[in-house]
Chain A
Amino acid sequence: MTLSVRIKKALRSSGNRRNSESPGASAAQPFLLDVEFDVPPGFTILFGASGSGKTTTLRSISGIVRPDAGRIAINGEVLFDSAERIDLPIRRRGVGYVFQDLALFPHLTALANVEFGMSKVSRPERRLRAEAMMEALRISHAAGRKPREISGGEAQRVALARALAYQPRILLLDEPLSAIDEATRRGIISDLKSINRELRLPIIYVTHSRQEAVSLGERVIVYERGRVVAFGEPISVFGTPITASVARLTGVENIFTGQVVGKSEDAGTMTVEVSDATGACHVDVPFGNQALGEHVTVAVPSGDILLATEEPRSTSLRNRMRGKITAIDEELNRTVVRVNAGVIWSASVTRQAVSELALSEGQEVWLAFKTHSCYLVDRSS
């Protein structure tokens, strides 16, 4: 079972009109959604900023939105083809869709929600399937309750059970875990994994959480303003971002522009003077074909930067610099330390490390990272 997608659609305003968090500035500009990709069985993560066309892609595949042009097929069976004027109605597509807002029927109980649809299945069989699916997703206890009487995590599982009980040929999940606490999220991710192992459906999973992408993704497709800008395994997509925008999207926080000031083919390195509003400093990056004096953009994942209270001597780390801590930002499950070492670097460390090293604002620390943690990325989108 493979889903193949080719969609062109002019997006007039913000593509994600339901998403209040989408910033007006970039999303309000009209742009063209123009993508083409295949989705084999398993998880394919659709990754990108709000308003980049992810939800419109899902809506096109399910038939809710009609693309201006393109072709959508499951295993060669055409769902939509602008050239052949084929446009199957939503109900004939066999596409399971978990909406971002879940779209549970508020007037029906959880069980009735899961039983919904399947009008061609006999009543006892329908009940059986619904109950089995709710059992599998561990929400049997909520069967008799209305959507407003259950928790966010339970609602999520009900929506999932409803989509799966219908036995779709492919499954579309639109940011299913965005409004759920960490523990529940982990539980649902592990359930999703076992569903995936069992059913082997093509699953498209829209998210802008890097963590979800890495923990679920067999493949990642990165969108930016309606285009696919990166595609591949999560490790390679997130590990070696090829463009500055992919780097920014995937959470590589240190992105600086600079100029090549030295090249040493023997050492296999180049020296780049990078700068930001604060100042400038030198970093060693892998040797490349950039010329001396050429302008480049350097990206360094914050997790690759080592912090030390004394100078880390006798290591293989080529980049060592002294700086002063300007801020320590607590985030969900990590701590980001901002260090001024000419430019402001962001290093993400664990909370334990912060307390063990007794890090505090204003303190002098050493930063160190490998040459190969520095990626030269294209400056254009």
Chain B
Amino acid sequence: MAEIDWFPLALSLRVALIATVFVVIFGVALGWLLARRRFFGRELLDAAVTLPLVLPPTVLGYYLLVLLGRRSPIGQAIEAITGQSLVFTWEGAVVAAAIGALPLMVKTSRAAIASVDTNLEDAARTLGESELRVFWRVTMPLASRGIIAASMLAFARALGDFGATLMVAGNIPGRTQTAAIAIFDAAQAGRDNYALVLVLILSVVALVLVYSTNKLTTGER
């Protein structure tokens, strides 16, 4: 077997890790908002955040291209700040992976936060705690199992993103070619052994993550 190119796998891990950090921060915040605050359009927001789960990846990728491209205000702002566009960069892949993983994070952390007894939060408030401290000292520790499980699922999802990443970041070997895309490339080119190695590694990682998530959420308290 020829020398194995580890770059796509390393890139995938880096993209997924960074995407997960963003997804956890925004996902928990959105999950808390949806679980604990009543506001107009709450369920609409939930639906909008869920969309990436059901839309074709190409639709998602298309939206992101429009949103981050040179002609959109967001794209122009990013270019003005960082000096380059996100399109066809590995950072663009991070955005694509994050958007794809967000629904899992929001859904799961909303459920985890909603399952925390509101009496406990009220008890903390009667003891003089601010909303922020109530969140950190009561809600978060009690929802932590669900939130950790959600983060692992989000990471697994980000690791495997294909369609949206391909559209936003392209398929540039050594720069934006993630493992999922490299597998597609290798299979097309008849490099079956290389494809198989990556397939097996991604499968094992995903299996371990999903198994641990299940252990966490259904295991004894």
Q: Say what secondary structure dominates the interface of chain B.
A: helix
Of the candidates A96, A119, A163, the one having the most CB atoms from chain B within 10 angstroms of its own CB is A119
Do residues A107 and B126 form an inter-chain contact, with CB atoms below 8 A? no
Do residues A116 and B124 form an inter-chain contact, with CB atoms below 8 A? yes
Interface range, A side: 20 to 34
Interface size of B by CB at 8 A reads 17
Do residues A119 and B142 form an inter-chain contact, with CB atoms below 8 A? no
**Among B63-71, B114-122, B208-216, the stretch in contact with A:** B114-122
Q: With A105-B138, A106-B142 as given contacts, are A118 and B127 in contact (CB-CB < 8 Å)? A: yes
* Distance of A24 Cα from B128 Cα, bound (Å): 35
Q: Which of B119, B126, B137, B142 contacts A90 (CB 8 A)?
A: B126
Query: B191 near A: Cβ within 8 Å?
Result: no
* Distance of A93 Cα from B123 Cα, bound (Å): 13
What 1/0 flags go to B125-147 for Cβ under 8 Å of A? 11111100100011001100000
Do residues B129 and A97 form an inter-chain contact, with CB atoms below 8 A? no
> Please, which residues of chain A bring their CB within 8 A of the CB of B141?
107
> Please, which residues of chain A bring their CB within 8 A of the CB of B126?
62, 64, 90-91, 93, 95-97, 117, 163, 166
How far does the Cβ of B117 sit from chain A's closest Cβ, in whole Å? 7
Do residues A89 and B125 form an inter-chain contact, with CB atoms below 8 A? yes
How far does the Cβ of B129 sit from chain A's closest Cβ, in whole Å? 6
> Please, which residues of chain B bring their CB within 8 A of the CB of A163?
126-127
Do residues B128 and A118 form an inter-chain contact, with CB atoms below 8 A? yes
> Please, which residues of chain B bring their CB within 8 A of the CB of A62?
122, 126
Of the candidates B117, B127, B138, the one having the most CB atoms from chain A within 10 angstroms of its own CB is B127
* Distance of A116 Cα from B128 Cα, bound (Å): 9
Q: With A95-B126, A116-B137, A120-B128 as given contacts, are A103 and B119 in contact (CB-CB < 8 Å)? A: yes
Q: Can you name 11 extra interface pairs (CB under 8 A) apart from A64-B125, A90-B125, A117-B127? A: A62-B122, A95-B126, A96-B126, A97-B122, A101-B119, A103-B123, A106-B142, A117-B128, A119-B129, A119-B130, A166-B126
| Closest CB pairs A-B (n = 9) | A117-B127, A90-B125, A103-B123, A103-B119, A97-B126, A117-B128, A91-B128, A107-B141, A64-B122
Pick 25 A–B contacts, CB within 8 A, sort by A: A18-B119, A62-B122, A64-B125, A89-B125, A90-B122, A91-B128, A91-B130, A93-B126, A96-B126, A99-B122, A101-B119, A103-B117, A103-B119, A103-B122, A103-B123, A105-B123, A116-B127, A116-B129, A117-B129, A118-B128, A119-B128, A119-B129, A119-B130, A119-B133, A166-B127
